[in-house]
A = this chain, B = another copy of it.
Amino acid sequence: MRAEIITIGDELLIGQVVDTNSAWMAQRLNENGIELFQITSVHDDRAHIIAALEEAFGRADIVLTTGGLGPTKDDITKQVLCEYFGTHLVEDTRVRAHIHDLYKERPEVLNRLTATQWLVPECAEILENRVGSAPLMVFHKGDKILASMPGVPYEMKIAMDEQILPYIENYELKITNYESGHILHRTLQVTGIPESSLAIILEDYENSKPGYLHLAYLPKDGIIRLRLSSYGEAAEAEMNEWFGRLKTLVADYLIAETDEPLEVIAGRRLQERGATVATAESCTGGKLAAMFNKHAGSSAFYWGSVVSYDNSVKEHLLGVPEEMIKTHGVVSEEVVRVMAESVRKLIGTDYAIATSGIAGPSGGTAEKPVGTVWIAWATPEGTTAECFHLGKLREQITDRACMKALIGLIRLLRE
């Protein structure tokens, strides 16, 4: 089956909100064997929404929409869907009871605008939105279906996992009498080689692999993700075989055999050896800590960080001698080594990573231009440090510094 996503909201088209929903939904659809053909973002505008619905139904079997379901005047999706499917709003007593239950401790929310949330299109099937007041609606158009969800990411995620995806699975079985094809993606991550040189290494591989296997290159922050995809045609055994060959060909540059974030891979390796890590962050400013802690369970191996944005923190908390900063500068091998060793002792972990660099836009010199970053790794066996030049833009520099820090840690944990 083929799906499309329509995200509805002026905020997307003036750049006030980044659409993170679509990528999340795309992953889930692929995991469920459903191909996502197109993502379209449209305004909160009647004619625009209707045109996008009509076009999407022309290409796909399943249309998923997010957004425009709030109780305020600017949200018009429910009304437009009524018009498109030639129906009208009726009161739904189940939704009404659910909303009363949802706000039983906040009765002030049960005002007359919230009351519009239990008016639903007569022809729609209503699924339960466990965590919000906007109804989840499913419409039928011949053999095709449309599911409308709220745009709030947390509500959308729960709606997809608990209601929409199971609904689609049942629906597919009913309509087609067989299950979805398998969409397979396998990704590995390499580093330390230009994309074009990698492609030359893989030229024979690309020419000899079966046509139903597709190879994609995704370079970002000093990592190239190599993804092998197949849409329904290849058996898992063939995918495994070709993925294995790919791995062998890029072995010298391989940093990860999955598409997981590097901090997850580093975390697993730490846990496997019962080891822990801490960080001392200057130029990365807490980003490395936040990357580790984003994932549940990180407290088992990630113990803490000293974010030493001001030099006084480096001196007083991390024991970097004032003299050392004067002589070598804060962005130096000497300083970053002391930072890593200090935080390792201070927090009492097996490993520690320290970063110090010039993230810009100001602060660069001829000798140490913006983008210069020193990183040190303190381990039970000693400390290593390396200098990098990571570009010109602040965000790029700090993102890449985090990746370099994690690549170094993963390599240490491999040895």
Contacts and interface: CB of A to CB of B under 8 A. Distances in A.
Contacts of A16: 23, 27, 185, 187, 218, 225, 227, 259
Interface in A95-147: 106, 108-109, 111-114, 131
Interface in A132-172: 152, 154, 157-158
Q: Which of A70, A112, A288, A293 has the most CB of B within 10 A?
A: A293
Contacts of A36: 13-15
Task: Give 8 closest A-B pairs by Cβ, nearest first.
Answer: A286-B289, A285-B293, A15-B26, A15-B27, A305-B307, A113-B196, A303-B310, A286-B286
Contact of A219 (B12, B41, B152, B200): B152
B152 A220 contact: yes
A216 B301 CA distance: 44
A40 interface: yes
B27 A392 contact: no
Given A217-B70, A317-B304, A26 B13 contact: yes
Contacts of A42: 38
Interface in A19-67: 19-20, 22-30, 36-44, 48, 52, 55
A213 to B, nearest CB: 12
Given A299-B309, A312-B348, A197 B108 contact: yes
A72 interface: yes
Given A15-B25, A109-B194, A285 B296 contact: no
A26 B39 CA distance: 16
A82 interface: no
Given A309-B302, A309-B303, A38 B13 contact: yes
A157 B309 contact: no
B13 A194 contact: no
A14 B26 contact: yes
A391 to B, nearest CB: 7
